[in-house]
Every structure is written in C-alpha cells, then in structure tokens.
Amino acid sequence: MGADREGRGRRRPVRVAVCAGGAAVLLAGCASMPDSGDLRDVESTPRQDAQVRVFALPPRDDAQPLEIVQGFLEALTSDDPNYETARKYLTGKALTDWRPNASTTVLAEGPNPLTDPSATREDDGAHVYRLTGLEVARVDAQNAYEPADGRYSETVHLTRLKDKQWRIDRLPQGVVMGKSDFERTYVSVNKYYFTSSTQLGQLGTVADPVYVRRQVNPVTQMVRSLLKGPTRWLDPVARSTFPPGTALKKGVESLTPDDRNKLTVPLNGKADHVTRSECDEMAAQVLLTLQDLTPTGVTEVELQRSDGERLCAMDEDHAEVIAAHGAGYDTAYEYFIDDDGRLVRMSVRGADPDREAVPGALGSGERRLRSAAVARDEDRAAGVSFDGSDLYVGSLASGASLGDPVLHSEGRTEGDRLTTPSWDGGNDLWIADRDPDSPRLLMLRDGGGEPVEVTTPGLDGRIEAVRVAADGVRIALIAEQDGKRSSLLVGRIEREADGSGEPSVSIVGLRSVTPQLEEVTAMSWAGDSRLVVVGREVGGVQQMRYVQVDGSMPDGPELAALTGVQEIAASEDERLPLVAHSEDGIVRLSSGSQWQQVVEEGSAPIYPG
C-alpha cells in the first residue's frame, strides 16, 4: 500500500488536472474482427495520465457488425465532447433519439458483446448483440454516482444500409464502459449549496459530489450542474440562491478562466433582478465549486446579467467571509483518552506535540471516561463514563465542574450501552443507546435538555457508531445487522417542528457507501464529502481507505498500512493528520509521512465534532 496520506485542505492545494496537454491517443475500432457469435470483451483502455486526451476513430468502410459494435463502445470512452464520433456508428432513430447524457453505467470490465442468434437475421440485413457485464455503479442524468451490484444486459440492433454499410439503429440510452475507462474519463467534483445553519455569521455549506468528464470542459459542466440545483438525494436539506430556471445565457457554450484566473459567467434573464446579497451568495457558490477544478484554480468569479452588465464579482477571501466550509472554526487540538480515563489534548501543529489534560472536570479524572466528543468551537466536551452507562457534558474551562449525567443507559453490558457522541455544526449533540431492550438514536439540543429521539425509517439494525457532518444535514452510521456490522451508512438529517413546536428529527435516505466491505469497525468524516473507514472485505484482512459519501472511491494515493486499528479520527480540514488508536497506541499520519507513535497508552482519538 502507498505510504502517503492525500494532503488536501479546506482550500485544497492539490488540484485536479483537467487541462489537456499536447498529446492525444486515438482509439481505433477493433479492425478485422470476425462476425461470429463468440463472446468477446471490449478491452478497457489502459488508464492514461489526466493530461492525455483520448479520441476515437470513425467506422471504416465495410466494417463487419462486431467491429461496428466494438468501435462504438470504444468511442464512448473517448474525450469527444459531444460524442460526434460515436454518432457516426448510428443511423435512423438511434441517431436522432440517443441521449448519451441520460446515464453512465459502469461495469467491472468492459461490456461483452454476444451475438443473439434468435434475433439475428443477417440475410435480412439485421444483426443483434447483447451487451453483458457485472454492473458496479451508475451515474444518473444529474451526474450523481450510486454503487450498483447486478448483471448488466442490454441489446444493440444493427441494420445494413443501402450502401451495404452496417450501422446501429437501436441501442440503450446513456453510455456504458468498464471501471478503468470510467476512472480515466470522469472526475468527482463537489458543487456547493447552502444549509439552514449559520456559524459565526456565515452561511453553512454542504458539498454535493457529482461526476463530470474530466477532459470535456469541466468548468462549464460544473457551472451548468450547479445552476440546475442539488441532486435528488441532497435536495430536501440544501438550497441554492440562484433563482429557479437560472441558466447560462443563450449561446454561451463554454466558460474559460482568463489569464488572471477570473471566470466570467453570463446568466439568462432569470437572475437579472437578484439583490446584491443574493448575487454575492450565488458567486460564492460558483467560486467554492470551481476552486479545485483547474490546475491553478479559479480565484475570482464575475456574474453577468442577460444584457452583459455585471451583477457582482467575488474573490476567494470574500467568499470565505460569506460561506463557511465545515463549522467555520480553525481546529486547535486533537484529543484522546489517556490511561487514567482523562480527556487529553495535543496541538495539531508540530511533529512531537506536548500533551496536557483539558481544563475542567473532564480532564481531572473525577469521572473516568471511555470516549468523548469535543464541540467544534472547543469550548465544551461530552464524555461517556468508563462503563458506557452515563453521558456527561462539561465546559473546557479551568475550574469548571461536571454536574449530573445528561443521559443514562440501562444496557446490561458495556457493549449494550452508549456509543461515542458526536457534535454537529449547530452545537447539537448526537449519541446512540445500544440497549437491546430500547435501542435509540438521540439528539440533545445545544448539548443538554430533554433528549430528542431521532426516527430512523428504513434502518434495520442497532446503531454501533455515530458521526455527524459539520454541515448538520448528513450523518454517518455503522449499524449491526444479523449479528454483524453492516457497511457504513450515510443519511440525511431532516428536522421539522411538530404541532406543539417541539423538534421532530429523522434520518432518511440511508444508503450504503461501502458495499464492498463485509464489516466496518471504525469511521470518521475526513473532508466535505469524504470519510475514512476501517473494515474488511469478505475473506480479507483489515484495511483502511477513503470513501466518498456517494459510495465512490476518491482519487489519490492509498493510506499507509497500519495494523490492529480500533478507532480512527480525521478532521474535515483535510490538511490535518489522521489519528488512530492501534496496537501501537495513539498514532498519527501526516501528509507525506508514515504512521508515527504519539503515546503508547491511550484510546478514543477524536477531533472536534
């Protein structure tokens, strides 16, 4: 496994390489292939450097049916902006009705074309191939990624034209390709919307990851996607300041930053009458979305009215004032529980940081702790007693007392009691009670008061771990099902007030983001749309990896190997190191380094959140 952690921060310096270089690769249709009924693989194109653009070749004269199918499938993996070469393999209604942007189906390997003898009547000028494979993911018309697990089977019908050339006249909508071609052709990018929460006077943001073709004007693709609004999964808990129907001005086909990395975005008339504050929010959305997309980054955005007049302009510094990533706080410390059961902190800076007990009762040893969570402003913390039965909340101020527990579990054993707690960006505290007689997910508003029982429709199993994103609208859960832990689940947090004005909170839209893992034992948020996960595949050994909230695997190096990992902590500021509890004690992984032991005895490492 690789030795480096991917070192990216809130304003990530490592940017996606999407600008084409001077090289191009031509994909030829597989020439001189026999027109037989054998099962043949469409070989996935070897993964190329992101700077290399790949183009396909049109059909040659007198190409046989299998060669036409093969050439068409190869053309789907090229960097041809409008699939013009792929369309040269089509005729009739296939040519007029095919919508390649309807979806992208990703197979474990390239699709296998198999002649369908029952439907093929070559003497009558017809030939049919069935495309088969193992489906691993699907990207929909909104560019949203979703893992899949099943057999792919679709038919492609060919006809012989009057000039004796074979062409495809019926085919499935969208495109299909192997996993390696998908990873070369597409890139995951976050677009940004607003949540209802505010921190430090800033608007809270939430990342909405989508996949776009990395060599086909991704800046324009992302702006168009942003203007269309959040993806269906995120839409109930996110909002855009762009008025409904806002789009690029008619006739604008491409957006390109100038030599000062400023991007001008001409809009249609739907945005002509927005206020200045609304325009600032709109520009901030564009700038946050595009900040990591080009090698040098877009540093300024100007929005224009339909008549070409300027609506407003926004630079990076101003955008950071208006909209906050995460909770809007700079993290000062990492935390863990020492062998005396005290909450201890150490600076996030420095290779060999000093360690000290936190101020207040949680660092005094007055109550021996098993786990803890520190509020994102680092003024308060919550601690679970050593036997897992009680939850305490206290100030991280010198001399602060602890008081009575704010929550108690009646579980008979330690493993049937309280999980590690988690704070969201609005200072609400989340925790699960694993008591088999009354398993519950609970939220304590502002860390206290009467716990609100959170409903979890669609969840079958007991919650074993809880982590809430800083945005306060997404939650990650590990749930036990059928006596074993399931894949990691991510859901939306939806809040309403009932008739009495009391809050009603539910977790909906739960989806597995690690379907390939049989058991997940630890996880933590590790960025705006990324988590770090510890688990194992069926019949495999323990491994640690990053995953996206949509279930895809992010670009970047693999994590350095670490044995015996029990707990993992990451910051949503991706520049900060990973911290883990392993058989070597508390260890830390900074960018470009190996795991380093921090302290031999300790457990439950955490960052604020």
Enumerate the domain spans of the chain: 24-185, 195-324, 333-606
Residue 34 pLDDT greater than 50, yes or no: no
- CATH fold of 24-185, please? Nuclear Transport Factor 2; Chain: A, (3.10.450)
Residue 566 pLDDT greater than 80, yes or no: yes
| pTM beyond 0.85, yes or no | yes
Q: What are phi and psi of 196, to 5 degrees?
A: -80, -10
Tally of CB atoms within 10 A around 153? 14
Contact 605, 336 (CB under 8 A): yes
Q: In the numeric block, which tokens belong to residue 471?
A: 């945005």
- pLDDT tens by residue, 109-153: 999 999 987 766 666 778 999 999 999 999 999 999 999 999 999
Q: In the numeric block, which tokens belong to residue 519?
A: 């058991």
Chosen CATH of 333-606 out of 2.120.10.30, 2.160.10.10, 2.40.50.100, 3.30.200.20: 2.120.10.30
Q: In the numeric block, which tokens belong to residue 242?
A: 């762009």
Q: What are phi and psi of 74, to 5 degrees?
A: -65, -40
Contact 93, 170 (CB under 8 A): yes
Q: Which amino acid is at 592?
A: G
Over residues 186-204, the mean pLDDT reads: 84
Cα-Cα-Cα-Cα dihedral sign, residues 211, 591, 375, 10: negative
Cα–Cα dist 516/311, whole Å:
47
Instruction: Band the pLDDT of 295: cuts 50, 70, 90.
Output: confident
pLDDT at residue 480, as a whole number: 86
pLDDT at residue 28, as a whole number: 52
- pLDDT tens by residue, 463-506: 999 999 999 999 999 998 766 667 899 999 999 876 666 779 99
Tally of CB atoms within 10 A around 91? 17
Q: Where are the alpha helices (DSSP H) in 120-217?
A: 179-185
Q: At what angle do helices 218-227 and 276-290 cross, to 10 degrees?
A: 140
Residue 89 pLDDT greater than 50, yes or no: yes
pLDDT at residue 24, as a whole number: 55
Cα–Cα dist 215/187, whole Å:
9
The segment with the largest mean pLDDT, out of 42-56, 192-206, 386-400, is: 386-400
Instruction: Band the pLDDT of 36: cuts 50, 70, 90.
Output: very low
Average pLDDT, the chain: 88
Contact 451, 428 (CB under 8 A): no
Put the strands of the sheet holding 300-304 in their side by side order: 262-266, 300-304, 310-315
Cα–Cα dist 144/255, whole Å:
22
Residue 3 pLDDT greater than 80, yes or no: no
C-alpha 327: how far from chain center: 18
Residue 181 pLDDT greater than 90, yes or no: yes
Task: Pick the more confident residue, 235 or 49.
Answer: 235
pLDDT at residue 425, as a whole number: 87
Residue 7 pLDDT greater than 60, yes or no: no
